[in-house]
Protein backbone atom coordinates (compact mmCIF):
# COMPACT_ATOMS: atom_id res chain seq x y z
CA UNK A 1 0.00 0.00 0.00
CA UNK A 2 1.55 3.25 -1.15
CA UNK A 3 1.05 6.27 1.10
CA UNK A 4 0.89 9.95 0.32
CA UNK A 5 3.85 12.09 1.29
CA UNK A 6 2.87 13.75 4.57
CA UNK A 7 2.98 17.52 4.32
CA UNK A 8 5.35 18.97 6.94
CA UNK A 9 3.77 22.42 6.41
CA UNK A 10 0.22 23.77 6.51
CA UNK A 11 -1.96 24.39 3.47
CA UNK A 12 -1.54 28.16 3.79
CA UNK A 13 2.24 27.97 4.27
CA UNK A 14 3.05 28.73 0.63
CA UNK A 15 0.87 31.87 0.45
CA UNK A 16 0.84 34.12 -1.46
CA UNK A 17 2.67 32.11 -4.11
CA UNK A 18 0.44 29.06 -3.94
CA UNK A 19 -2.86 29.70 -2.15
CA UNK A 20 -4.27 27.64 0.71
CA UNK A 21 -7.44 26.48 -1.06
CA UNK A 22 -5.44 25.22 -4.04
CA UNK A 23 -3.03 23.39 -1.75
CA UNK A 24 -5.82 21.83 0.31
CA UNK A 25 -7.82 20.72 -2.74
CA UNK A 26 -4.73 19.51 -4.56
CA UNK A 27 -3.43 17.48 -1.63
CA UNK A 28 -6.62 16.16 -0.05
CA UNK A 29 -8.67 15.58 -3.22
CA UNK A 30 -6.47 15.17 -6.29
CA UNK A 31 -3.47 13.49 -4.67
CA UNK A 32 -5.72 11.24 -2.58
CA UNK A 33 -7.62 10.12 -5.68
CA UNK A 34 -4.42 9.24 -7.56
CA UNK A 35 -3.11 7.35 -4.53
CA UNK A 36 -6.32 5.40 -3.89
CA UNK A 37 -6.82 4.54 -7.56
CA UNK A 38 -3.20 3.46 -7.87
CA UNK A 39 -3.39 1.19 -4.82
CA UNK A 40 -6.66 -0.28 -6.10
CA UNK A 41 -5.23 -1.00 -9.54
CA UNK A 42 -2.07 -2.56 -8.08
CA UNK A 43 -4.19 -5.29 -6.48
CA UNK A 44 -4.91 -6.52 -10.00
CA UNK A 45 -1.27 -6.43 -11.12
CA UNK A 46 0.37 -9.40 -9.38
CA UNK A 47 3.63 -9.13 -11.31
CA UNK A 48 4.27 -5.63 -9.91
CA UNK A 49 3.87 -6.67 -6.26
CA UNK A 50 6.77 -5.72 -3.98
CA UNK A 51 8.35 -3.35 -6.49
CA UNK A 52 9.25 0.23 -5.59
CA UNK A 53 7.21 3.01 -7.17
CA UNK A 54 10.17 3.86 -9.41
CA UNK A 55 10.43 0.22 -10.54
CA UNK A 56 6.70 0.03 -11.20
CA UNK A 57 6.71 3.15 -13.38
CA UNK A 58 9.65 1.74 -15.31
CA UNK A 59 7.94 -1.64 -15.79
CA UNK A 60 4.49 -0.72 -17.06
CA UNK A 61 5.17 -2.56 -20.33
CA UNK A 62 5.00 -5.78 -18.28
CA UNK A 63 1.28 -5.22 -17.72
CA UNK A 64 -0.44 -6.95 -20.65
CA UNK A 65 -3.98 -5.81 -19.76
CA UNK A 66 -4.17 -2.50 -21.64
CA UNK A 67 -6.90 -0.74 -19.58
CA UNK A 68 -5.13 -1.78 -16.36
CA UNK A 69 -1.81 -0.51 -17.72
CA UNK A 70 -3.41 2.86 -18.53
CA UNK A 71 -4.91 3.09 -15.04
CA UNK A 72 -1.52 2.30 -13.48
CA UNK A 73 0.24 4.82 -15.73
CA UNK A 74 -2.18 7.66 -14.96
CA UNK A 75 -2.60 7.01 -11.25
CA UNK A 76 0.85 5.62 -10.46
CA UNK A 77 2.28 8.62 -12.27
CA UNK A 78 -0.08 10.91 -10.37
CA UNK A 79 0.95 9.30 -7.10
CA UNK A 80 4.69 9.62 -7.73
CA UNK A 81 4.53 13.08 -9.34
CA UNK A 82 2.53 14.62 -6.50
CA UNK A 83 4.68 13.07 -3.80
CA UNK A 84 7.67 14.68 -5.51
CA UNK A 85 5.92 18.02 -6.04
CA UNK A 86 4.76 18.44 -2.44
CA UNK A 87 8.13 17.29 -1.07
CA UNK A 88 10.18 19.91 -2.93
CA UNK A 89 8.01 22.82 -1.80
CA UNK A 90 8.49 24.63 1.50
CA UNK A 91 7.67 28.04 2.94
CA UNK A 92 11.15 28.59 4.29
CA UNK A 93 13.19 26.28 2.17
CA UNK A 94 16.73 26.88 1.06
CA UNK A 95 16.05 29.51 -1.60
CA UNK A 96 18.71 28.63 -4.15
CA UNK A 97 20.74 25.54 -5.04
CA UNK A 98 24.23 25.24 -3.63
CA UNK A 99 27.27 23.01 -3.85
CA UNK A 100 27.30 20.08 -6.26
CA UNK A 101 23.75 20.72 -7.48
CA UNK A 102 24.50 24.34 -8.37
CA UNK A 103 27.71 23.32 -10.15
CA UNK A 104 25.81 20.71 -12.18
CA UNK A 105 23.09 23.23 -13.09
CA UNK A 106 25.76 25.66 -14.26
CA UNK A 107 27.55 22.92 -16.21
CA UNK A 108 24.39 21.85 -18.04
CA UNK A 109 22.49 25.14 -18.43
CA UNK A 110 25.12 27.86 -18.08
CA UNK A 111 23.49 29.41 -15.02
CA UNK A 112 20.74 28.89 -12.46
CA UNK A 113 18.67 31.58 -14.20
CA UNK A 114 18.97 29.82 -17.56
CA UNK A 115 17.78 26.54 -16.04
CA UNK A 116 14.76 28.29 -14.47
CA UNK A 117 13.99 29.91 -17.81
CA UNK A 118 14.24 26.60 -19.68
CA UNK A 119 12.09 24.56 -17.29
CA UNK A 120 9.56 27.42 -17.03
CA UNK A 121 9.25 27.61 -20.81
CA UNK A 122 8.66 23.87 -21.03
CA UNK A 123 5.89 24.14 -18.43
CA UNK A 124 4.30 27.17 -20.06
CA UNK A 125 4.51 25.53 -23.47
CA UNK A 126 3.01 22.19 -22.47
CA UNK A 127 -0.33 22.06 -24.33
CA UNK A 128 -3.08 20.86 -22.01
CA UNK A 129 -2.19 19.08 -18.79
CA UNK A 130 1.22 17.85 -17.78
CA UNK A 131 4.49 18.53 -16.04
CA UNK A 132 7.85 20.22 -16.55
CA UNK A 133 10.86 18.39 -15.13
CA UNK A 134 14.44 18.72 -14.08
CA UNK A 135 15.94 15.23 -14.03
CA UNK A 136 19.29 13.57 -13.48
CA UNK A 137 20.56 11.15 -16.12
CA UNK A 138 22.76 8.09 -15.58
CA UNK A 139 25.93 10.18 -16.06
CA UNK A 140 24.90 12.78 -13.48
CA UNK A 141 23.83 15.43 -15.99
CA UNK A 142 20.70 17.48 -15.42
CA UNK A 143 18.10 17.47 -18.18
CA UNK A 144 14.99 19.63 -18.64
CA UNK A 145 11.90 18.04 -20.17
CA UNK A 146 8.13 18.02 -20.17
CA UNK A 147 5.53 15.24 -20.21
CA UNK A 148 1.79 15.12 -20.83
CA UNK A 149 -0.88 14.05 -18.36
CA UNK A 150 0.62 12.23 -15.34
CA UNK A 151 3.49 10.75 -17.30
CA UNK A 152 7.03 11.34 -16.08
CA UNK A 153 10.63 10.69 -17.14
CA UNK A 154 10.78 7.36 -15.26
CA UNK A 155 8.31 5.94 -17.80
CA UNK A 156 10.47 6.84 -20.76
CA UNK A 157 13.17 4.27 -20.08
CA UNK A 158 16.02 6.68 -20.81
CA UNK A 159 17.52 6.56 -17.33
CA UNK A 160 16.20 9.94 -16.18
CA UNK A 161 15.24 10.39 -12.53
CA UNK A 162 13.23 13.54 -11.70
CA UNK A 163 14.61 15.84 -9.01
CA UNK A 164 12.13 18.70 -9.53
CA UNK A 165 8.69 18.81 -11.12
CA UNK A 166 6.24 21.60 -11.84
CA UNK A 167 2.62 20.51 -12.01
CA UNK A 168 1.04 22.54 -14.82
CA UNK A 169 -2.40 20.97 -14.67
CA UNK A 170 -5.01 23.70 -14.23
CA UNK A 171 -5.95 22.24 -10.82
CA UNK A 172 -2.49 23.31 -9.59
CA UNK A 173 -3.12 27.02 -10.18
CA UNK A 174 -6.52 27.91 -11.62
CA UNK A 175 -8.23 29.06 -8.39
CA UNK A 176 -5.69 31.83 -7.96
CA UNK A 177 -4.05 32.39 -11.34
CA UNK A 178 -6.99 31.50 -13.64
CA UNK A 179 -5.60 31.23 -17.19
CA UNK A 180 -2.23 32.77 -16.29
CA UNK A 181 -0.12 29.63 -16.07
CA UNK A 182 3.13 31.54 -16.59
CA UNK A 183 2.43 33.63 -13.45
CA UNK A 184 1.96 30.47 -11.40
CA UNK A 185 5.19 29.02 -12.76
CA UNK A 186 7.02 32.22 -11.87
CA UNK A 187 5.59 32.08 -8.33
CA UNK A 188 6.44 28.38 -8.00
CA UNK A 189 10.17 29.11 -7.94
CA UNK A 190 9.70 31.22 -4.78
CA UNK A 191 8.64 28.18 -2.76
CA UNK A 192 11.07 25.54 -4.00
CA UNK A 193 13.08 23.98 -1.17
CA UNK A 194 16.46 23.56 -2.85
CA UNK A 195 17.80 21.46 0.03
CA UNK A 196 15.08 18.91 -0.78
CA UNK A 197 15.95 19.00 -4.50
CA UNK A 198 19.61 18.55 -3.60
CA UNK A 199 18.79 15.42 -1.60
CA UNK A 200 16.91 13.96 -4.58
CA UNK A 201 19.83 14.84 -6.83
CA UNK A 202 22.27 13.06 -4.52
CA UNK A 203 20.08 9.95 -4.24
CA UNK A 204 19.21 9.68 -7.94
MN1 LIG B 1 -1.72 18.01 -9.61
Render pLDDT for 88-99 as a digit per residue (tens, 0 to 9).
Answer: 999 987 889 999
Q: What is the pLDDT of residues 156-182, one digit of tens each?
A: 989 999 999 999 999 999 999 999 999
Q: What is the pLDDT of residues 54-76, one digit of tens each?
A: 999 999 999 999 999 999 999 99
Distance 97 CA to ligand 1 centre (A): 24
The percent of residues above 90 in pLDDT, for the chain, comes to 95
Instruction: Report d(CA 4, CA 10) in Å as an integer.
Output: 15
Judge contact between 185 and 168, C-beta under 8 A.
yes
Provide the pLDDT for residue 114.
Answer: 98
User: Which segment of 44-48, 77-81, 93-97, 140-144 scores lowest on mean pLDDT?
Assistant: 93-97
Q: What is the pLDDT of residues 116-127, one digit of tens each?
A: 999 999 999 999
CATH 1.10.287.990 assigned to 20-87: yes
Distance 149 CA to ligand 1 centre (A): 10
Distance 26 CA to ligand 1 centre (A): 6
What mean pLDDT value characterizes the chain?
97
Look up the CATH architecture of domain 99-203.
3-Layer(bab) Sandwich (3.55)
**How do the domains of the chain map onto residue ranges?**
20-87, 99-203
Distance 95 CA to ligand 1 centre (A): 23
The percent of residues above 70 in pLDDT, for the chain, comes to 100
pLDDT band at 11 (very low <50, low <70, confident <90, very high): very high
Provide the pLDDT for residue 127.
Answer: 97
Distance 115 CA to ligand 1 centre (A): 22
Which pairs count as long-range contacts for 154-162, CB under 8 Å and 24+ apart, including other chains?
154/54, 154/57, 154/58, 154/80, 155/57, 155/58, 155/60, 155/73, 155/77, 157/58, 160/133, 160/135, 160/136, 161/54, 161/135, 161/136, 161/200, 161/204, 162/84, 162/133, 162/134, 162/135, 162/200
Say which residues have a Cβ less than 8 Å from residue 76's Cβ, sequence separation at least 6. 38, 41, 42, 53, 56, 57, 60
Whole-prediction pTM value? 0.97
Distance 152 CA to ligand 1 centre (A): 13
Distance 31 CA to ligand 1 centre (A): 7
Residue 49 has pLDDT above 90, yes or no: no
Distance 79 CA to ligand 1 centre (A): 9
Say which residues have a Cβ less than 8 Å from residue 110's Cβ, sequence separation at least 6. none
Amino acid sequence: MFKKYELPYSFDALEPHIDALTMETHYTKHHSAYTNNFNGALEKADNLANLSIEEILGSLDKVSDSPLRTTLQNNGGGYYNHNLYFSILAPNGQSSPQGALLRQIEANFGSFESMVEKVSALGAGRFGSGWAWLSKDSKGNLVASSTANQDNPLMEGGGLTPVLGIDVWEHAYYLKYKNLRADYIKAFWNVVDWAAVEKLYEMA
